[in-house]
Amino acid sequence: MSEEVKSPWPGPKGLIPVTSGRAEDANVYNRNYLDHIHVEMRILDAVEPNLSKEIFGKQFSSVIMMPAFSHLNKVGKDGRKPMVEYAKAALEMNLLNWVGMEPDEEFKEIVETGASTVRIIKPFADHGMILDQIAYAEETGAIAVGIDIDHVPGTNGKYDIVDGIPLGPVTTEDLAAYVKASHVPFVAKGVLSVQDALKAKEAGCKAVFVSHHHGRIPFGIAPVQILPKIKEALEGSGMYIFCDCSIDTGYDAYKALALGADAVSVGRGILAPLLKEGKEGVIKKVTKMNEQLSELMMYTNVKDTSSFDPSVLYF
C-alpha cells in the first residue's frame, strides 16, 4: 500500500496518491476517493425512497447488481457453485445478474437459475469465439451481452492470454460488428474515459460499464471520478451507465449513483460472504447495502432512483 506523501500533491485533500501502479494501489485509490466524498443533509420533506429501476426493459428491485465474476463456478466443499449461488440470490432479490468468463455449459447452468443475466465476453483474438458466445448467450436467455474492452494488454505489454486463449484488440469497427451480431442490448465493459464512451455510443452499444476491472490499468483513476464527464457526454443517448470497483457499501453506491451511474455492481464486497455462506451470505450483504442506500437517499431527500442530485456531494 502507498505511504502518505509529505510533499505537496495536487490531488483532492486527504487522498493517498498511487505510487507503484500495482492493482492494489489503484484499489486503495478507489477506496480513498470514495471516502473523501462527503454529503450534505436535506432532510425536510424526505420520504422512504423507492430503490427500483428499469434496466433493459425489466424492472428490478434495486440499482445494486451482482458482479461479472469469472473463473469462479467451481464446486465448493459444500457441493455448491459460487456463481450459481449468487445468481440464485439475484433471482430471490430481483436484481440484475452478471457473468464473466465461463464455459458455455457453466453459463447455461447459471442462466437456468432464472436470474436475469448479462454475459460479458473476453476480447478473444479469434473473433469467431466472440460471435459464438454472443449467439449462445442469446439462445440460453441472456437479456444482454457485452465485451471486456479493458482486458486487452497483459502485464508483459503484449496481448493477454487467459486460460491459454489469446486475447486481442477491440476496434470501434469490431465493437460495431458485435453489436450488429447481437439481438439483445450490447454493453462495453471497462470504459474509463469519455473517448471510449463516445466510441461505444458510435458502435451502437446500449450501455457502458465504467470500470477498470478492479485495478487492471496501472495508476488508474477511480471509475467514479470519470462518471460525471461520461454522464454529460452520453446525455440524451438513452444509454445506460453502470459502474463498479470498490463499491462495498450502500453509501458507496449512493455516491456513484449521484455522480451519474444508473446502477452499480458489487463484486469483492460479496466475495467473502458468497464463499462462506453461498446465496444466504450474498442476500445478507446486499440487503444491508440496500438499507444503507435507502438511509442516505432519505437523508438527502432523494425519493427514487431517477432523482439523484450531485450537488449534495462535497469533494
Could you please report the per-residue DSSP string of 52-97? -EEETTEEES-SEE-----S-----TTS--HHHHHHHHHHHHT--E
Buried b (16+ CB within 10 A) or exposed e, 15-52: bbbbeeeebebbbbbbbbbbeebeeeeeeeeeeebbbe
Element housing 187 (H / E): strand 186-191
Q: Where are the domains of the chain?
A: 53-314
What does the pLDDT read at residue 21?
66
Give the SS3 label for residue 222: coil
Buried b (16+ CB within 10 A) or exposed e, 81-90: bbbbbbbbbb
pLDDT by residue (tens digit) across 151-168? 999 999 999 999 999 999
pLDDT by residue (tens digit) across 105-125? 999 999 999 999 999 999 999
Q: Which CATH superfamily is domain 53-314 in?
A: Aldolase class I (3.20.20.70)
What does the pLDDT read at residue 4?
31
What does the pLDDT read at residue 78?
80
Enter the C-alpha cell of residue 255. Answer: 455516491
Full pLDDT tens readout for the chain, 315 residues: 333 323 222 344 444 444 456 667 788 999 999 999 999 999 999 999 999 999 999 999 999 999 999 989 887 778 899 999 999 999 999 999 999 999 999 999 999 999 999 999 999 999 999 999 999 999 999 999 999 999 999 999 999 999 999 999 999 999 999 999 999 999 999 999 999 999 999 999 999 999 999 899 999 999 999 999 999 999 999 999 999 999 999 999 999 999 999 999 999 999 999 999 999 999 999 999 999 999 999 999 999 999 999 999 999
pTM of the full structure: 0.93
Enter the C-alpha cell of residue 231. Answer: 454522464
Looking only at the bridges linking them, the beta strands covering 263-265 and 64-65 are parallel
